[in-house]
Amino acid sequence: MRLQLSFTLALAALLALASEHPASAERPSVTAAAEVAGYIDSTHVQVASPSVSATVADELAGWSVGGRYLVDVVSAASVDIVSTASPHWSELRHVGSAEVSYKRGPAAVTASGGVSHEPDYLSLSGGLVATVELLDKNLTPFLGVRYGHDDVGRTGMPKDRWQLLQRGGMQAGAAFVINRFIVASAQLDADFERGYLAKPYRYIPLFAPGSGASVPVGASPQLVNELRLDQRPIDSLPDARDRYALTGRIAARVGHATLRLDERIYTDSWGLWASTTDARVMVDAGPRLLIWPHLRFHAQSSVDFWQRAYEAVAQSDGTLAPPRYRTGDRELSRLDTVTGGLGLKLRLTGGAHSPWYLTYQLDGAYTRFYDALYITERLSLFSALGISGRWD
């Protein structure tokens, strides 16, 4: 309720400001798009994601309103699920979001809100970002805040027994115009999560004290079942996580091409460090065609409490208990990912007004897991096909 009220008040304020100005002589422009994206990997995860979006904007009056709706159709039979004797499963996720922006003089404010719903998960989020143009628009600092409220459960579990996760965050940064051909930006993000951060369906194999080192990297489910104890406790993670990320971007125009480089440095209170480097070259291949090769490299350490094979802890009464923190989520282990691909954007219509575009993107990725059970590598493929149009 508080989230809905905040977003409603922000929307009302923006509309009130807009009403102070007469309507522009030209009618607002409308942009609409539709996209179908797909993901598949070697762990038998498949995702299909159709989406639609639309934006109405009046650049002279300084306002815009937009919305997006997406459906994720997920199908999985990964080794983690098979190893816990669970069957192949599929799930449907609905995601909706809206955004309202208003610009007056050099200052602008954007309010956004979103909702994501699954049979066992409900997420509400909202945010506000303010920007101001300085030095003849050569410097644009920005400041933003965001909040999320998630309810986490299991399919068939009464909602009064679901767990709570709250997420708050802020961002600050600036965009710079260095010269006629080069622009850059820097952004600092801080996110703070409190509540249930574990995976309610993930159960962890437990091994006898002193035997964990004998379980090899990439051990098969059969070998793990032979070596583990009868206990299989559920995933358990700390109930607080603070995340920090520093992102820099630079784009330069050279001839008929634009080079863009991104670098993101990340750390959090769980001891994980990561670096993500992204590069793409957008080339004007003709009057209506833009293509961009894409290369990305991501490397990260593991969280402090990560163990490939968790050992039971001997209690004073002689019983064995699981360690306080434990997880089988290999995305929290040490890993590297290399991604490469190609994208294109084709203008379907001529003339200066009401253009239509067709876009396509194809990326392949290879991930290496250095200290995980079951899987040591993963191959994945992502593709997206979209069409968009604008009416002035």
Q: Provide the pairing of β-strand 335-347 with 356-369.
A: antiparallel
Point out which residues pair with 287 in neighbouring strands.
none
- What residues form DSSP beta bridges with 183? 177, 251
Predicted confidence at residue 193, as pLDDT, reads 98
Domain count for the chain: 1
Please report the pLDDT score of residue 311 as a whole number.
96
Give the contacts of 390 (CB within 8 A, at least 6 positions apart): 29, 30, 31, 354, 355, 356
Please report the pLDDT score of residue 33 as a whole number: 97
- Whether 197 is covered by a domain: the verdict is yes
Q: What pLDDT was estimated at residue 84?
A: 44
Range of weakest confidence among 153-157, 224-228, 327-331? 153-157
Tens of pLDDT, residues 157-199: 888 899 999 999 999 999 999 999 999 999 999 999 999 999 8
* Cβ-proximal residues to 5 (8 Å cutoff; 6+ apart), any chain: none
Q: Is the pLDDT of residue 6 over 90?
A: no
Tell me, yes or no, whether 253 lies in a domain.
yes
Confidence of residue 154 (pLDDT cuts 50, 70, 90): confident
User: Amino acid identity of 8?
Assistant: T
Mean pLDDT of 332-348: 97
Cβ neighbours for 3, distance < 8 A, ≥ 6 positions apart: 113, 124, 125, 126, 147, 149
Does residue 233 lie within any of the structural domains? yes
How are beta strands 63-76 and 45-58 bridged, if at all?
A: antiparallel
Does residue 308 lie in a domain region? Answer: yes
Average pLDDT over every residue of 310-330: 93
Residue 320's domain comprises 178-392
Task: Please indicate, yes or no, if residue 340 is contained in any of the structural domains.
Answer: yes
- Measured from the Cβ of residue 318, the count of other Cβ atoms closer than 10 Å reads 6
In a domain, 166, yes or no: no
* Contact predicate 235/251, CB 8 Å: no
In this predicted structure, the answer to whether residue 16 has a pLDDT above a threshold of 50 is: no
State how far the Cα of 391 lies from the Cα of 372, in Å rounded to an integer: 51
141 in any annotated domain: no
Does residue 86 lie within any of the structural domains?
A: no
